[in-house]
Amino acid sequence: MTKFVLIAALGAIASVSAAGPAAVNLGKAGTYAILSKSGISTVPTSAITGNIGVSPIASTAITGFSLKMDSTNRSATSTQVTGSVYAADYAAPTPEDLTVAIGDMEIAYTDAAGRTPPDHLNLGSGDLGGKTLGPGLYKFGSTVIIPTDCTISGLPTDTWIFQMSGDLTMAANKRVKLIGGALASNIVWQVAGYVEVGAGAHMEGILLVKTAAHFRTDSSLNGRILAQTAVTLQSSTVTQPYLGRFLAQTADILV
Ligand SMILES: *[C@@H]1O[C@H](CO)[C@@H](O)[C@H](O)[C@H]1NC(C)=O
C-alpha cells in the first residue's frame, strides 16, 4: 500500500515535470568520485569523498596522496580520500573491476557525445557567464567558458547534458550554482578537450572528459571527474553527489 502510494507520487512528478534528456548511464564508473586512465595527482591537502581509481596505468601514477596499502592488496587509503583508492596493479579482482569501470566511463562519454538533437546550439557563443540554464541538451562547437557565475535551474527530476568540442574553463573564484532542487548527479558535461577549474572556483556535475581535468588551488566540485587522461588537484575538494539519478531513472521507467 505504502509502495503503491510512493510509485503513484513518483509517476505524477515524472509525468508533470521531468524535463531534459534521458539520464546518462555511468555504469560502474558511477561508483568513483575520480576515475582516470593516466593518473591522479594532488598538491596536499585535497579532500575527496568517494572512491578514486586509475587504469590501465599503475598506482605509481597516483601522486601526492601518501597511499597506505590495505592488508588485502586490493585497495589503498589516503588521509585525503574518504573512500578507497584503486589501481590497475593491485590484487584481483581490482584490475578487472577497473577495466569494467573504465569501459563504462568510455561508453557514457560516447553516449553523452552522441545525443541529438540539441535544444540549444552554441548558446552565448560558448560563454555561460551570467546565464541561468534550464534542463536540456546544450551543444557547443567550441570551447565553453564560465568567466562569471552561472546558474543551473531545475527540479530534482530534471536533466542536463552539455556537449562541447573544445575545453571547459572556469575563471578563478567563480561558481556554478544549483537552484530549484537541481541535482549535480543529473548534470553531465561532455568535454572533448580538457577541463580547467580556476583557483577558488566551484563546479557542479559529472565531468566526462576526453583528455585532462585540472583543478587549481582551493577549487571544488560537487560531482565526479571521469577523465580519459590525467586529473590534477591542488588543495581541491571533490565530493561525489547524492544519488539523485536513481529518482530520475525510476521516474523514466514509470512514465
Ligand atoms: C600483499 O603484498 C605484500 C607485499 O608484496 C605481500 O607480502 C603480502 O603477502 C600481500 N598480501 C596478500 C593478502 O596478498
| pLDDT (tens digit per residue) in 122-153 | 999 999 999 999 999 999 999 999 999 999 99
Cα(76) to ligand 1 centroid in Å equals 13
Which residue, judged by its Cα, is nearest atom 4 of ligand 1? 73
Cα(89) to ligand 1 centroid in Å equals 13
Q: Kindly indicate the confidence band of residue 1, based on its pLDDT and cuts at 50, 70 and 90.
A: very low
Range with the lowest mean pLDDT among 68-72, 111-115, 184-188, 248-252? 248-252
Instruction: Give the pocket of ligand 1 (CB within 6 Å).
Output: 72-73, 91
Query: In testing the pocket of ligand 1, which one of 73, 75, 89 has its CB within 8 Å of the most ligand atoms?
Result: 73
pLDDT digits (tens, 9 = 90+) for 159-169: 999 999 999 99
| Enclosing H/E stretch for 204 | strand 202-209
Residue pair 122/146 in contact by the 8 Å Cβ criterion:
no
Q: Kindly indicate the confidence band of residue 243, based on its pLDDT and cuts at 50, 70 and 90.
A: low
Which residue, judged by its Cα, is nearest atom 3 of ligand 1? 73
Q: Please give the number of the atom of ligand 1 that sits closest to the Cα of 73.
A: 1
Residue at grid coordinates 583557483: 199
| Enclosing H/E stretch for 108 | helix 94-114
Q: Kindly indicate the confidence band of residue 68, based on its pLDDT and cuts at 50, 70 and 90.
A: very high
Residue 4 has pLDDT above 80, yes or no: no
pLDDT digits (tens, 9 = 90+) for 83-110: 999 999 999 999 999 999 999 999 999 9
Residue 16 has pLDDT above 90, yes or no: no
Mean pLDDT (the chain, rounded) = 92
What values do phi and psi take at 185, rounded to 5? Answer: -70, -15
Cα(73) to ligand 1 centroid in Å equals 6
What values do phi and psi take at 74, rounded to 5? Answer: -90, -20
Q: Kindly indicate the confidence band of residue 18, based on its pLDDT and cuts at 50, 70 and 90.
A: confident
Cα(92) to ligand 1 centroid in Å equals 12
pTM for this model (two decimals): 0.90
Q: Please give the number of the atom of ligand 1 that sits closest to the Cα of 72.
A: 13
Sorted by sequence, the CB contacts under 8 Å of residue 219 that are 6+ apart come out as 170, 197, 198, 199, 200, 201, 202, 203, 234, 236, 237
Residue 174 has pLDDT above 60, yes or no: yes
**In 7-157, at which residue ranges do the beta strands (DSSP E only) sit?**
32-36, 40-43, 47-49, 51-54, 62-63, 68-69, 76-78, 81-87, 120-121, 132-133, 136-140, 144-146, 150-153
pLDDT of residue 242: 73
pLDDT of residue 246: 45
pLDDT of residue 254: 36
Cα(96) to ligand 1 centroid in Å equals 19
**Percentage of residues of the chain with pLDDT beyond 90:** 87
